[in-house]
Amino acid sequence: MTAKLKVGIVGGTGMVGQRFVQLLDQHPWFEVTTIAASAGSAGKTYEEAVQGRWKLSSPIPEAVKGIIVQDASKVEAVAAQVDFIFCAVDMGKYEVQALEDAYAKTGTPVVSNNSAHRWTPDIPMVIPEINPGHLEVIAAQRKRLGTSTGFIAVKPNCSIQSYVPALHALQAYNPTQVVASTYQAISGAGKNFTDWPEMLDNVIPYIGGEEEKSEQEPLRIWGSVVNNEIVKASAPLITTQCIRVPVTDGHLATVFVSFENKPSKEEVLHHWLTFKGRPQELGLPSAPKQFITYFEEENRPQTKLDRDIERGMGVSVGRLREDSIYDYKFVGLSHNTLRGAAGGAVLIAELLKAEGYIQAK
């Protein structure tokens, strides 16, 4: 058995960082050896640093409790100890870009949960089942950054995972117009009900920046590589509304879609149920065996019942019906901190390892 790759988590004390810690415990390929965070947490054990701030229902994994948290800004020191990093920091866009660039320039691959580099032309933004081919721009990115081994790859916005896979499975019919409303869990804001009691018995019809991301990021995922840059697709036309609802985890979407060539309902269901991507072909450890699950029941998928399908890495779809204005309407659901955040990033790292982009230093 080959040795596991040494992983650093930069931003390891926040909610997404905690998910990384949880998901990587006992991972067959990766081992968390380094955790970095703000200067205020540096020097403490991980257990001390998250005391009173641990947001997950499962306990802190024993393997990381005693790790001494390092200062994330000490890039050279952190990078020297790891084969690659996950980055999930709470900083401004330009600060994040500078930090991730600095890590990549040390020769360290960066798999980012942040939004700062999602539109950098030579940085791939990946849903592994959908656009693994975008990884080819890494060669040009490495040349720009002046490194033979470092690079940055990013995970897209969590809310689009609930409907983009279902639409992608139907790309052969050329979707032309999409209307989507997302009903998003409070963990998407890095919070739970203890630290956001105002969300109890409440709905907030606005999430800053989320609608623009939900409308534009799918087009980049469906884009093409042209002259070593990713050029976004011009269709479908997407409009969204994004709403915060009082649930812990799980982003649900209601979707209306029209096609250039309308498929039958039987064709839609066939494509959903048989869709497989590169992670399924490779048998990656975090890949769901059934990427898209369709529920025949009229009242499914439900956030509480179905968000954990395929260990939170699958996408659930239901209520497929013909529509009086659009061709079809349906409901989609994904787990926002698993498939949508840390789990999605772990799957990207697995794909990068399997394709030879991440190796032991």
Catalytic positions are 158, 251
Handedness of CA 187, 189, 192, 196 (dihedral sign): negative
Backbone angles phi, psi at 237, to 5 degrees: -80, 125
How does DSSP assign 60-99, residue by residue?
Answer: PPHHHHTPBPEETT-HHHHHTT-SEEEE-----HHHHHHH
Closest CA to 109 of 119, 95, 123: 123
- Residues shown for the chain: 361
Under a CB-based contact definition with an 8 Å cutoff, are residues 203 and 165 in contact?
Answer: no
Helix (H/G/I), strand (E/B), else coil: 8: strand
Instruction: Please tell me the chain's helix, strand, coil percentages from 3-state DSSP, rounded to the nearest 5.
Output: 35, 25, 45
Structural tokens at position 5:
């790759």
Under a CB-based contact definition with an 8 Å cutoff, are residues 153 and 110 in contact?
Answer: yes
Structural tokens at position 45:
């054990």
Structural tokens at position 48:
């001390």
Closest CA to 339 of 123, 126, 134, 170: 126
Report the amino acid identity of residue 206. Answer: Y
Structural tokens at position 93:
């866009």
How far apart are alpha carbons 19 and 56 in whole angstroms? 8
How does DSSP assign 212-240, residue by residue?
Answer: HHHHHHHHHHT-EEETTEEE----SEEEE
Strand partners, 329: 256, 321
Parallel, antiparallel, or unpaired: how do β-strands 84-87 and 5-10 relate?
A: parallel
Q: Please state, as a whole number, how many other Cβ atoms lie within 10 Å of the Cβ of residue 229.
A: 15
